[in-house]
Amino acid sequence: MSVRLIEGLATTGPIAELFSDLSVLQAMLDFEAALARAEAHEGIIPPAAADAIATAAKADRFDATALAELAHATLRAGTPGIPLVKILTEHVRTGNPAAAGFVHWGATSQDVADTALVLLLKRAQSMLEPDLARIEDALRSLAKQHQGTVMLSRTLLQPGPPITFGLKAAGWLGAVHRTHRRLTVSFADALIVQFGGASGTLAALGQHGPAVGKALAKELGLKYPEAPWHTHRDRLAGLLCDCGVLTGALGKMAHDITLLMQGEVAEAAEPSAPGRGGSSTMPHKRNPIGCSLTLAAAHRVPGLVATFLSTMVQEHERGAGSWQAEWPTVAAIIQATGLAVAAMAEALEGLTVDPAQMRANMDATHGVIFAERAMMLLAPGLGRDVAHKLLQEALRQSTADGRRLVDVLGEMPEVMRLLDRATLEKLDVPQEYLGSADTFRIRLLSSVEQHNSRDEKE
């Protein structure tokens, strides 16, 4: 299935396919087939009936007209489960009339819809993981390759004392890795079967309810919860909140790279290719396309997460309206998250970094970014207030005359009484004022490696 034009900047082809009509339908049918097999295993329905139901539960038996009718009936029923069961029952009846009466035995319509959604989320996780791994690999490589690449820090978008690009990349990596780990835990919590029957007690199955539920979960490769969760949406909420945090972390990185790509800065750039990053009117442009797509997702997801959180307030044992709001909301969050992950994986794998331009931008400040260092050298001898006032005058002269701060300071008797010429000449050497930058870079990388090693052992 191709992405609809209106969704072209909101999802990827594979994740659009995941939430296509046929895919969603098959997930619901998978629930019905697995339920029948589980109940046959527990002696609730005849094995022949389970076989007939499983045979009929194939989405390719629904043509476009049938899908349209199902969608229309869903709107009237308030749930896809009711019309689905009706249609599936008729399909089963054509092959085995006796088996038709056992379709959906003991289940409720929300069991179908919720478990189908969980099955789609399970597939979504397997689609997100490779791109997340690509992002972490690319960032790890950048953090190691540029351990000594000095650049300006930027606070409130203004030049600050030097850092390394290796530290910046390691910071991005740490944030993505932490959110990735939390997302993995949230997926594990949320990938559970929903099977509660009419009011969450499975009374229709007598004392066999839990056994059937466990067998159903096993059939679908899901976990079996302590109890049905029809109006308890906390696990799904946790997962979607973590999607929001992940897209936020990716968005922060995308924002940084976008700013580094500005022509006046030109310190980094996304990969270019035919049809990627160009302009319809300005051939010279190299636009941050992957970052723009990621930022679009980061802007959309928080509002969608808020919508889901508002749907958690559900009435008693079955919600009215709040549950019906979930499917499109969840689909939109997962699609936006998938787009952000895929877009940043591509951008980072082809990211080019220009150390020479980073140094040129630093030199263009004439060393005023080292005013903090000068203050720390002068304050012990002059007092902080006097040193601050002296530096303000030196900075004014440096900026007005376009001269190095070091040269201006070298003409001030108060400075030269405290600092020798050798110390002054090293004042604006960036490598001399990186503090613990590399220590922090190494600690970030080590933390990621330790987590990965521990996860592999588990």
Residue type, 430: P
Across-strand partners of 160?
Answer: 153
Distance CA 140, CA 174 (A): 10
Closest CA to 405 of 356, 364, 359: 364
The residue to which tokens 């590399």 are assigned? 438
Q: Do 283 and 310 meet the contact criterion of CB atoms below 8 Å apart?
A: no
Distance CA 37, CA 43 (A): 10
Residue type, 313: V
Q: Do 351 and 257 meet the contact criterion of CB atoms below 8 Å apart?
A: yes
Q: Which two tokens stand for residue 144?
A: 């190691």
Q: Do 291 and 282 meet the contact criterion of CB atoms below 8 Å apart?
A: no
Q: Please state the length of the chain.
A: 458
Who contacts 265 (Cβ-Cβ below 8 Å, separation ≥6)? 259, 357, 361
Catalytic choice (279, 310, 446, 453): 279
Would you call 318 a catalytic residue per the annotation?
Answer: yes
Catalytic choice (61, 318, 359, 403): 318
DSSP 8-state assignment for residue 163: E
Would you call 235 a catalytic residue per the annotation?
Answer: no
CA dihedral 371, 364, 173, 435 (to 10 degrees): -30
* Rg, C-alpha atoms of the chain: 30
Distance CA 84, CA 100 (A): 13
Closest CA to 199 of 316, 282, 289: 316
Distances (CA, A) of 433 to 118, 269, 300: 52, 26, 40
Across-strand partners of 151?
Answer: 163
Distance CA 177, CA 174 (A): 5
Active-site residues: which are they?
279, 318
